[in-house]
Amino acid sequence: MKSKPVNPTRRKFLQVGAAAVAAPAILGATRAYAANPVIRVGHISPRTGPLANFAEADDYVLDAINKIFAAGLENNGKTYNVEIISKDSQSNPNRAAEVAADLILGDEVDIIVAASTPDTVNPVADQAEINEVPCVTTDCPWQPYFFGRNGVPGVGFQSTYHFFWGLEDVIGAFLDMWGQSGVTKTVGGLFPNDADGNAWGDAELGLPKPLAAAGYALTDPGRYQPLSDDFSNQIAAFKAAGCEIVTGNMIPPDFATFWAQAAQQGFAPKIVTIGKALLFPSVIESLGARGDGLSSEVWWSPHHPFSSSLTGASSKQLADGYTAASGRPWTQPIGFKHALFEVVADVIRRSDDLDDPSAIVAAIAATDLNTIVGPVNWANGPINNVTKTPLVAGQWQREGDAFDLKIVANSAAPEIPLTGSLKLL
Amino acid sequence: MEWFNAVVQGALLGGLYALFAAGLSLIFGVMRLVNIAHGDLIVLAAYLGLSVTLVLGIHPLLALIVVVPAMAVAGYILQRGILNQTLGQDLLPPLLVTFGLSVIIQNALLEIYTADPQKMNAGLLETASVSLGGLSLGVLPLLTFAVAVLVIAGLQWTFYRTALGRAFRAVSDNQDIAQLMGLNRHHIFGLSMALALAVTAIAGILLGIRTSFDPSIGGGRLIFGFEAVIIGGLGNLWGTLAGGVILGVAQTIGAKIDPGWQILSGHLVFLIILAVRPNGLFPRISG
């Protein structure tokens, strides 16, 4: 090998020397950053459109999560930077699928998460499943998630996992609440012709069977189209059957139309328990005095005895923090949105190999974490890829100027304390 | 009796649909403009009403005093500032512009008022009812129907008994000749849009008392307005009222058979009428 004789001139020596002295300072700064590989997490939620209420706390939750993630997360002794890329589904399932594909193929996210109703969760999970990207979702009852995606019990899905409660829990919580009230066991059902309404009203898997088993007579006039302007026929049917309880799964405008017409037609049930429409304090407030005493399922509240595995904050602290930051009352999705990222952080820490999607999926499946919404552990699921968090029932009761959601029935989850007792309308 | 109840409730519902449709009918009659943003303008009016009631602490119906002129002024500015530039031989540009307007209004409302469902609190009016021969009729639906009849009658009178109405009919018949006769069609179009949005304001307030609304709800209301206009016949105001009532009755009768048929039967009646009489039941304008 022929080597070139080294004859450094004074000028060359100074140049190389200066570069050598400066190098650690310049390269050091960039190298320390580059040494931390980045894990990208895609997040999809309905920030605009009819479902925007579900995502109103997104900024608050993501800010807190980003602060925790800013220090990086440790995996197998190596620190990873976590970048959350959040996109809007515009409350539209087609758009949700589109942004999910964008995140997977364009941003090349390593994990994708989504929350809020089958319209967001299902298309995102489907995209993740096709592209074999690990996916965690929440805030949608598991039946529409599992059966809505043509899941086969016993087989389940490859890369998509879900935590929330199911229809059986809602039915149990409702029956628990009605049972203690002593009203006549006649129920009027209002189920719209949408994913939720069809699941709730389904003769086999929905409310009718367990209600009949518990001795309730259900009057179900049939599926109505959402955004109907008239409920006089349903009200006439409920009056004829002497219904003292009204239940169902409605969107807020439909419930408001029904509830005003019920008063006009002289129909006064003693208990009104409606899923979805009565979740948010803003809806109850918009109903004014007629909002007092309406009841709903409760997935999460400041009284839930759980705390965050990430920040250590209790349910009450998380809810109060949101109220302080936004000036708005707490809502139930806040806890679940936070819990979603608790699971993500836990998975990133535990995964055997963050470059291998199947290792991430294995870490998701092996999750055993106490989150702010309760324990999340897919080994305890009712069906493949699904695990359940506790559910109780609550009633909106007026306290001074504001409405408070009192937990009035908790048989299924006695660890969540009662905060009030059911009052008849 | 139950069937009769369904018919009566449907007819009252038709009053609301007629109010949705009156503004559409008017502007289509005068300038052949199909306003896709009409539903969102109704929701905008409801939000304006909500703000007025909250700020001034007055009854929603009193808020009409503020909202109706405000929407009328907005309509005039909108027409002269934007929509007049798009009118011409082609129907498509105004269609696209109003479609864009619809998106802008929705998102502006979402930014300002958030996605919370809102409702105007009209106190006793919301739940009051009168008994008539075994039927229980809500005062609010009765009021809505009465207002619809008055509005249509008022528009009809304006159209056929006033100088403004003559100007409307003149530009509707032939823009160029009307222009030659000394009518400024840009101004006339502005006035007709102002009148249409004044009616929209009434519809929005009554909708906001009847049910809760959020920024995204407008599009769903638009279809009923269009159907009422088409059923009644383009450009015929009394026909629009008839169209609204037919649509409302079809819906409640359908719902009586099965609630799943409520919206569908309204659409079916619309399609049948469109098939049998493509110009609607009482057309005044051909094509």
Name the residue ranges covered by the structural domains of chain A: 37-165+303-387, 168-298+392-409
The answer to whether the Cβ–Cβ distance between A253 and B210 falls below 8 Å is no
Domain A37-165+303-387 coded CATH 3.40.640.10:
no
Per-residue pLDDT tens over the stretch B163-175: 999 999 999 888 8
pLDDT at A347: 96
What confidence score (pLDDT) does residue A16 get?
66
B chain contacts of residue A260, beta-carbon cutoff 8 Å: 126-127, 138, 140, 210-211
What digits encode the pLDDT tens for the residues B180-224? 999 999 999 999 999 999 999 999 999 999 988 988 888 888 889
Test B127 with A264 for CB contact under 8 angstroms: yes
- Residue A27 exposed, middle or buried by CB count within 10 Å (0-12, 13-18, 19+): exposed
**Which stretches in chain A have pLDDT values below 50?**
1-2, 28-32
| Residue A417 DSSP class | P
Position A51 scores a pLDDT of 83
B93-146 per-position pLDDT tens digit: 999 999 999 999 998 998 898 878 888 988 888 888 888 878 889 999 999 999
Averaged pLDDT, B15-26: 92
Would the CB atoms of A282 and B220 count as touching at under 8 Å? Answer: no
| A169-184 burial: b if 16+ Cβ within 10 Å, else e | bbbbbbbbbbeebebe
B251 contacts in chain A (CB < 8 Å): 228-230
Residue from B211, B213, B247 to probe the interface with A (highest A Cβ count within 10 Å): B211
Q: What's the mean pLDDT in B254-271?
A: 90
pLDDT for the residue numbered A6: 57
Q: Which of residues 94-123 of B touch A (CB under 8 A)?
A: 107, 110, 114-119, 121
pLDDT of residue A32: 46
Supply the pLDDT for residue B121.
87
Chain B residues with beta carbon closer than 8 angstroms to that of A233: 6, 252, 255-256, 259, 262
- Closest residue of A to B247, CA-based? A229
- Residue B20 to residue B200: CA distance in whole angstroms: 7
Q: How large is the ipTM?
A: 0.86
Spatial contact of A114 and A126, defined as CB atoms under 8 Å apart: no
B3 touches chain A (CB under 8 A): no
Express as a percent the part of chain B with pLDDT over 90.
Answer: 61
Size of interface A-B (CB pairs under 8 A): 133
| Confidence at residue A29, expressed as pLDDT on a 0 to 100 scale | 46
pLDDT digits 0-9 by tens, B215-239: 888 888 888 999 999 999 887 889 9
Average pLDDT, chain B: 91
pLDDT in tens, B41-55: 999 999 999 999 999
Within chain B, residue ranges assigned H as helices are 2-31, 38-56, 60-78, 84-86, 92-113, 124-127, 139-161, 163-173, 175-180, 185-210, 218-232, 237-257, 262-276
**How far A311 CA sits from the closest chain B CA (Å)?**
28
Residues 129-158 of B with CB under 8 A from A: 129, 136-141
A37-165+303-387 and A168-298+392-409, same CATH topology? yes
Question: What is the DSSP secondary structure assignment for residue A188, as one 8-state letter?
Answer: E
pLDDT at A28: 47
CATH of A168-298+392-409, one of 1.10.3680.10, 3.40.50.150, 3.30.465.10, 3.40.50.2300: 3.40.50.2300
CA-CA distance, A259 to B140, in Å (whole number)?
13
CB contact (8 A) between residue B217 and residue A253: yes
Planar angle of CA A13, A14, A15, nearest 5 degrees? 90
Q: Is the pTM value of this prediction over 0.90?
A: no
Report how far residue A370's alpha carbon sits from residue A389's, in angstroms, rounded to the nearest whole number. 10
Residue B26 has pLDDT above 60, yes or no: yes
Interface check B92 vs A, CB under 8 A? no
Cβ separation A252–B214 shorter than 8 A: yes
Compute how many other C-beta atoms are within 10 angstroms of the C-beta atom of residue A101. 16
Neighbours of B61 (CB within 10 A): 18
Please name the helix (run of DSSP H) or strand (run of DSSP E) that holds residue A161, with its range, or none.
Answer: strand A160-163
* Whole-number Cα distances in Å, B168 to A417, B88, B161, B173: 68, 17, 11, 9
Selected residues 181-240 of chain B with any CB under 8 Å from a CB in chain A: 210-214, 216-217, 220, 224
Cβ neighbourhood burial of A334 (10 Å; 0-12, 13-18, 19+):
buried
